Each structure stands twice: as C-alpha cells, then as structure tokens.
C-alpha cells in the first residue's frame, strides 16, 4: 500500500490543518470515510502509541491504523460498521467510541429557533448535557461562537488538548457542537478557540453551563442535568398557591441575604454554609421571624466574591461555593415546604471582563457592544450586554427562565435597571451614543425587559412567578402592564422613599421639623407604581454605616429611633425588604468576609429589636388593612401629616372590607401626653403594637393596650382620642 492509499486521498493541506488544530471542518476528514480503496478510518490522537479499530457489537478486530504524523492515525478497515477505538496510551489501554463517528447532535429546527432568538432553544441546545446516542452514553457540548475559526472542547477527558476534540460548526446558527462518548456528569471542561485570523484565545468557560468549579477555579462542569430537571419536588401546594402569595394585595416581607456570609463557621476558617446547611439554619430562622420571602444577592456563579455576586459569569449555574445545582433545588424545595418564597437577584445589565468569560468570546465583541461608549461600564469596570442582538437577548431571557423553571424560584429581582434604560447613564456629554431617534432611551434594553416580563408571564406549566425592578429614576410605568406601554414588572424598589426617610431619620430630632416633608413626600407618588420599600445591603456599605449607626442620639435613643422607623415602614404602604443584620440592629456595616454580629443578640436592646421585627412581620401578615390595599389610594389616609413642630405623623390603613388600623409616630425623644388624634371610627381601639414596650428595650410608656374615642372633633373627624405618645416611638391601633 502506498502513502496515497494510506491517506485515502487526504489532501496534504488537510493533514497539516488537522494536526495543527486549525481545520474548519474536522468531520469532513476524521472518522469513517468511503474511498476508492474501501472504508478508511482516520483519528487524531496526539501522544497515542497505537490504535486498533474493533467492532462495537462484538469487539472483533477490523483493522489497525498507521501513524502518519503528530497523532494522526489512518488505516483501512474490513467493514463499514459501528466501531470503537482500542487505543494504546504507551502501556495504558483505552477502548472508546470515536467522536467523529456520530452525526449531528442538534436538530435543524432547534438551531433555526436559536438563530431567531428563542430563549427556549437556548435552554434546549446550548451548554453541556449527558445524553445517550446510538446506545452510547456521553456528553453533548454546544456553544455559540459564530466568528471563531475553530472551537474545541477540552477537559480532563482529553488532557486539555484542543487537537483531540474540535467541534462541528452548524452554520445556520453559529453554534459549534460535539458529542463526546463516555464522558459523564462531573467532568470539567472549557472551550479552546481560534479567532478569525487564527490566534488562540484564552480558554473560555461555557456561558450556558449549569455547574462550575468552585472559585477561584474557573472551569465549567458537566452537571447531572436529569437530577435537576427531574428533581423529586414536593412543593406542589406552594407552587399551586404562590400566585396568590405574591400579588399587590398580599403581605410580602422579604429578608435579603448574602448567602456566603449569613452565617460563617468560625471553627472552619470562616467558611460559608452549604445549601444543605442553609436549609437547616436559614429557613427556620427566616420563618420564625415572620418573613414571607428570602431574597438572595446573586447566586449565579461569579469569579470575584467581593462583587457579592453582582459580576456573574455563569448565568445558568448556582455558585459552587454552596454545593451542587441539585442541592440548590433541594434548598428551594425545603423553603417552599416551610412556606417561604425564594427571590433571586439577577444581573442582565453587565458582566465582568475576566479573560475566561464572555468578553470577546469568539475573538469578537459577541456578547458586548463593540463601541466602548455602549459596551463598557466605566463605573463598574464591566461590559454591557448587546441586547440588540437576538442571540444575546435570548441568552439572558433563557437564564431568567431557567431559574424559574429548573429551580422553582419564585421571583427575579432585576438589578441595575436604571443603567439599562438610559444610554447616557453615568456618562458625560459626548461620551454616549444616542438611539436611532437621537434620544437617550435605550430602546434595545426596553424591548429586552418587556420581553423578559412577557416570557415570565407566559411560561408553560410555570405560573405565579414575579419580577421586581431595581430602578432608581422616575421612569414611567415600570410596573404598568405591557399592553398599556409599561415595562411589565410586578414591583419596583422605592429608592426615593428609602433615601428620603433615611435622610429624615439621620437628622437630630431637634432639626427634624425642617425635614418633615421627607416622611410624607413618598405618598405623593406612592400609587404611581407597585412598590417594595427596600432597606437593602446598598444602604449599609461603603461608609454609609449600619441602619442603627444612621440613627442620632445616645445608645438608647439610637435603638428607639430604629424601632420607631421600622414600625413606620411596616405600616406604610408598600411591600417590605430588610437586609440581614438590620433585624437586630447590627452595629457594623455589611462585610462580606464576616457574618452579621449574631453575638449581639445577648444584649437586650439588640434582642428587643429582633423581637420587634418578628412582631411587625406577624402583625403585617395577619392584619389585612396593612397589606390588601397597599397599591391603591383608598387604602391610606393621612390623619396628621403636617405637625412638623412635634414631628408627629398619624395615618390610617384600611382593607376595604371594614378592617382599620391607625399608626402614630413620634419622632422626638419627648413623650406627648394627651396628644389628640382624630380617629376614623368611634369606639374602642386596641394598641396592638408599641415600639416603646419594655420587651423591645423601650421605656414602657403607652396607652395600656386600649383606648376609647371621644366625641371631640379633631383633624377633620367627628371623634378623636387623647393618646400618650411614647418618646421616639410608633404605636399601632386597631379598631375593635
């Protein structure tokens, strides 16, 4: 047999391209091919000592291959039948199916949908997935990289050698695919790519991986997909009822948590808890405190822990810091069984520029804008997604849907929406690119957010999930329905209310009379959106001090101020959100390397604050007047909104069905004896909460639990009550 016969007519240029790992279509050359001289098998196995071809069914020898050059083996076989490679790795045998003996692994139909921007096609096609093809188990890899010259999957299974498993390009979608036999869940991998001009890129993690290595390692991991997608859920009652638990009329009280630092184990190097451990500790705690939901700062995998998750690079993978994806599913299931909803912070606004990530993914600005005026976040040193690109928009929508679909997550809090809506966000004049109409609105981002919310509403077999916008401007209609021109979110964080009221509380009580409007202004726009009142992590970092630290006065006054403020918040229209540590008056700012200072609960004032938050949650949940008409003007009335001289506020909350609650706040350290308040209803009222109660650490000034109105007109009401207003306190009265 001459060399020409041996190579089966293989072009020398093809040989060069194969052994140098730059061939654009390895399937055209490798595997079993018919030639004029009969069937020929070609394999590329660098560093192998020898290769024999055996039949897959009975192991009979079909032929031995000859080493041509640099790991390229070629030889004739007796029969063109399904076969395996019997490889001699210099004394270590291996028998495995040939990757290049398998056909296409993704359907043309699915790829067409992918190219059209179908998020469900992203979930169906991209990433890694254990599959069985022709009775052979292995893993299907697929990645979108339309501008790469060559893409190989590399991992422990091929010694991270990009020559071993170059992928097939499916041109209609720009997707590279490959089935690698005998690889299983748990395998580590990345993608090796050549740019258009043939330069190698840094190894890239899989953007659609469901699992990753634990940081600081950056590899992707083949997940046990079936263990996630076929998880034995036992939360059917919750999933059936949650649609009614997360509406504008529902009590929604959210405990915001940084998962890694909620409770660190000091004896084990201050490590964070696993999902299993959080299920045992965090869920019972949040439930006992009366919260309805847990909201996690982003748990999608992120390389830098100091970003608190806000610089994610694996939008489909729960962070390996806390365990496997199926363990996250088990955590959510456990939370639902306990009656707790799970909300995730989700970040579609930007991504970090780590070399293994999305930046210049295939050698071109693929996920990001090419123009830095559009594609670079100067504030955060991150890249901005090009949401005008079908595939990028579909990728991100698919990520949002994946958390809701795969893991039964109840809601997404969408981070940094304001930065997405405006092209000139935090940019000087001339440093941004106007839209097609010459305006500052980011039309592509607006379309993306509307699409996200549409898809969340119309997920097949998934109902009742919500979206919440962190949006800090006056953009109109953030929570308005899509068919009315709104963005379609269920709720929006009320950043204005938060800033105004915290500014007021920061003032010494002597000067609060001059800032009275900061506590009342929120009601001017309270019904323009459906709001969440957020006392989030953002307010206790970067030198802002803790909630307790913002309060003026001596130690007792600081706690009294905080208690009065929390009760004002819990009785004010809007859903509630409180960051961990705030519930017991954490002294220090949030530090992601440390837990909240739980030992402070040995102190009566800290413990009293915690008891107050628990009682506020239970009152808020059990009293319809405090939540049913949260988003409707008819649910609120100022009784006293203009007494700046005394820094007193009083307001009425109703449920529209006869339930009435009155809250009265005294934001000075001076007790008010005989303070008359016009009451909306005559008769007996119960004092159901007093933040000055001794059990909370207060001075126990109050009304003895019961008041009766008098037929004395006041504040526009025919009846009123003479009240004792404790110092720096809020009392809550309920009509009997």
Catalytic residues: 415, 470
Which helix (H) or strand (E) segment holds residue 466: the answer is strand 466-469
Q: Are 707 and 670 in contact (CB under 8 A)?
A: no
Alpha helices by DSSP H, listed for 338-408, are 372-375, 390-406
Measured between alpha carbons, how far is 463 from 475 in angstroms, rounded to an integer?
Answer: 27
Measured between alpha carbons, how far is 502 from 562 in angstroms, rounded to an integer?
Answer: 10
Measured between alpha carbons, how far is 662 from 654 in angstroms, rounded to an integer?
Answer: 9
Measured between alpha carbons, how far is 694 from 455 in angstroms, rounded to an integer?
Answer: 50
Alpha carbon of residue 222 to chain centroid: 21
Measured between alpha carbons, how far is 292 from 577 in angstroms, rounded to an integer?
Answer: 10
Dihedral pair phi/psi, residue 126, rounded to 5°: -90, 160
Alpha helices by DSSP H, listed for 407-441, are 417-421
CA angle 581, 582, 583 (to 5 degrees): 90
Measured between alpha carbons, how far is 531 from 539 in angstroms, rounded to an integer?
Answer: 18
DSSP letter string over 270-293? Answer: TBPPPHHHHHHHHHHHHHHTT-SE
DSSP β-bridge partners for residue 721: 677
| Residue 25 tokens, joined | 């279509």
Dihedral pair phi/psi, residue 72, rounded to 5°: -85, 120
Q: Are 283 and 334 in contact (CB under 8 A)?
A: yes
Please measure the distance between the N-terminal and C-terminal CA atoms of the chain and give it in whole angstroms.
103
| Residue 117 tokens, joined | 């921007």
Contacts of residue 614, defined as CB under 8 A and 6 or more positions apart, other chains included, come to 288, 289, 290, 583
Looking at residue 265, the DSSP 8-state letter turns out to be B
Which helix (H) or strand (E) segment holds residue 451: the answer is helix 443-457
Q: How many other C-beta atoms can be found within 10 angstroms of the C-beta atom of residue 154? A: 20
Measured between alpha carbons, how far is 611 from 521 in angstroms, rounded to an integer?
Answer: 29
DSSP β-bridge partners for residue 132: 137
Looking at residue 3, the DSSP 8-state letter turns out to be H
Q: At what angle do helices 390-406 and 443-457 cross, to 10 degrees?
A: 30
Alpha carbon of residue 334 to chain centroid: 19
């Amino acid at each position: 047999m001459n060399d020409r016969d041996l190579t089966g007519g293989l072009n020398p240029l093809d040989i060069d391209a194969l052994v140098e790992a730059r061939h654009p279509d390895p399937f055209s050359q490798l595997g079993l091919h018919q030639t004029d001289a009969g069937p020929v098998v070609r394999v590329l196995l660098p560093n192998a000592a020898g290769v024999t071809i055996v039949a897959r069914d009975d192991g009979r020898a079909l032929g031995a291959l000859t080493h041509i050059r640099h790991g390229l083996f070629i030889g004739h076989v007796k029969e063109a039948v399904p076969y395996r490679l019997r490889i001699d790795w210099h004394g270590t045998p291996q028998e495995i199916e040939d990757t290049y003996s398998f056909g296409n692994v993704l359907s043309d139909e699915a790829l067409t949908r992918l190219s059209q921007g179908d998020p469900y096609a992203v979930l169906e096609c991209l990433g890694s997935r254990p599959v069985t093809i022709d009775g052979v188990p292995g893993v299907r890899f697929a990645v979108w990289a339309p501008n790469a010259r060559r893409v190989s999957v590399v991992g422990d299974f091929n010694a991270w050698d990009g020559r071993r498993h170059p992928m097939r390009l499916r041109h209609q979608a720009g997707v590279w695919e490959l089935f690698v036999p005998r690889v299983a869940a748990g395998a580590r991998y990345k993608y090796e790519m050549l740019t258009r001009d043939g330069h190698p890129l840094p190894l890239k993690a899989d953007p659609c991986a469901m699992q990753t290595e634990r940081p600081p390692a950056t590899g992707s991991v083949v997940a046990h997909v079936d263990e996630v997608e076929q998880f034995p859920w036992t939360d059917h009652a919750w999933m059936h009822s949650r649609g009614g638990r997360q509406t504008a009329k529902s009590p929604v009280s959210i405990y915001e948590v940084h998962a890694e630092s909620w409770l660190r184990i000091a004896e084990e190097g201050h490590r964070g808890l696993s999902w299993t451990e959080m299920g045992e500790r965090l869920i019972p705690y949040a439930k006992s405190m009366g919260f309805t939901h847990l909201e996690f700062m982003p748990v999608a995998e992120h390389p830098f822990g100091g970003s608190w998750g806000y610089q994610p690079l694996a939008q489909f993978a729960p962070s390996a810091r806390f365990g496997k994806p199926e363990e996250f599913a088990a955590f959510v299931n456990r939370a639902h069984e306990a009656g707790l909803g799970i909300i995730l912070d989700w970040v579609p606004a930007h991504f970090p520029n780590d070399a293994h990530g999305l930046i210049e993914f295939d050698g071109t600005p693929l996920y990001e804008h090419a123009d830095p005026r559009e594609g670079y976040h100067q504030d955060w040193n991150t890249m901005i997604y090009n949401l005008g690109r079908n595939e990028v928009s579909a990728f991100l929508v698919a990520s949002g849907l994946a958390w809701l679909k795969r893991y039964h997550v109840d809601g997404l809090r969408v981070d940094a929406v304001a930065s997405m809506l405006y092209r000139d966000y935090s940019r000087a004049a001339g440093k941004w690119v106007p839209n097609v109409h010459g305006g500052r609105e980011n039309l592509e981002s607006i379309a993306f957010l509307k699409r996200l919310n549409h898809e969340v509403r119309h997920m097949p077999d998934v109902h009742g999930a919500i979206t919440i916008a962190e949006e800090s401007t006056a953009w109109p209609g953030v929570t308005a329905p899509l068919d009315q021109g709104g963005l379609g979110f269920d709720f929006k964080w009320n950043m204005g209310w938060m800033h105004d009221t915290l500014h007021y509380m920061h003032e010494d009580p002597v000067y609060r009379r001059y800032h009275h409007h900061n506590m009342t202004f929120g009601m001017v726009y309270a019904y323009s959106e459906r709001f969440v009142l957020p006392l989030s992590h953002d307010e206790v970092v970067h030198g802002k001090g803790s909630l307790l630290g913002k309060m003026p006065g001596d130690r007792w006054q600081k706690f009294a101020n905080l208690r009065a403020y929390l009760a004002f918040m819990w009785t004010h229209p809007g859903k509630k959100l409180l960051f961990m540590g705030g519930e017991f008056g954490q002294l220090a700012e949030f530090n992601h390397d440390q837990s909240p200072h739980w030992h402070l609960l040995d102190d009566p004032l800290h413990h009293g604050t915690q008891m107050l938050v628990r009682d506020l949650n239970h009152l808020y949940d059990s009293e319809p007047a405090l939540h049913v008409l949260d988003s409707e003007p008819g649910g609120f009335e100022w009784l006293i909104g203009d007494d700046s001289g005394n820094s007193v506020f009083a307001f009425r909350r109703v449920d529209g069905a006869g339930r009435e609650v009155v809250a009265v706040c005294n934001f000075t350290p001076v007790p008010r004896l005989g303070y008359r308040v016009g009451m909306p209803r005559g008769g007996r009222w119960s004092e159901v909460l007093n933040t000055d109660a001794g059990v909370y650490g207060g001075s126990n000034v109050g009304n003895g639990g019961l008041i009766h109105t008098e037929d004395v007109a006041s504040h526009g009401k025919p009846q009123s009550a003479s009240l004792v207003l404790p110092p720096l306190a809020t009392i809550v009265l309920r009509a009997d």
